[in-house]
Structure 1
């Protein structure tokens, strides 16, 4: 059986022990996208990995939504730079051999 691609907010509220207003704030700040399916607000399952990081930043480090956005942008930039470094190292190996 195929799993549903959308997870209802009430399920996520229970799982993460947060209020629905938390998810509304994330949506308002562009950190997640809430979609209404059959009159129930839901989040696509592809956003769960990002949502885990967001919840940890908020609960463990007490970072507000703007700070979370900044941290996520910095993590994306680090990932891009690491990929560029990997590509550059691979190109340099050509000259070493």
Structure 2
């Protein structure tokens, strides 16, 4: 069984000079995953790049959470479409 590593939400927020409520709001919008253990909140390590990207959109570009949600969903759709395109190109190359 693979052990997953986590970063404390409090440490993450202190490092980025933000309130923990921002991360809680991101979780409420379904943008990040948060795990609760021993009455503390943690972010899985593999979620950190995504969380930091969302946080930059929200804080640096001053985009509201609804806008960040839309942007994130669109980026996911583009990434999925690109993966599908690559898969289909590879499949097509087998027949050429």
Which residue is 1:27 aligned to? 27
Structure 2: gaps spanning 5 or more residues: none
Aligned residues, how many? 94
TM-score where L is the length of structure 2: 0.83
Mapped partners of 1:32, 1:95: distance in 2:
41
TM-score where L is the length of structure 1: 0.82
Deviations 1:41-90 (A, max 9, x none): 22222211110111111122111111111111111111111112112222
Q: Equivalent residue of 1:41, what SS?
A: strand
Whichever of the two has the greater Rg, that structure is: 1
Which residue is 1:85 aligned to? 85
Which residue is 2:63 aligned to? 63
Displacement after TM superposition at 1:94 (Å): 3.6
- Report runs of 4+ in structure 1 exceeding 6 Å deviation: none
Q: Equivalent residue of 1:36, what SS?
A: strand
Q: Is the CA contact 1:26–1:32 (under 8 Å) kept in the aligned structure 2?
A: yes
Cα RMSD (Å) of the superposition?
1.9
Mapped partners of 2:87, 2:70: distance in 1:
26
Greater shift in the superposed pair: 7-16 or 35-44: 35-44
Mapped partners of 2:34, 2:92: distance in 1:
44
Displacement after TM superposition at 1:4 (Å): 7.0
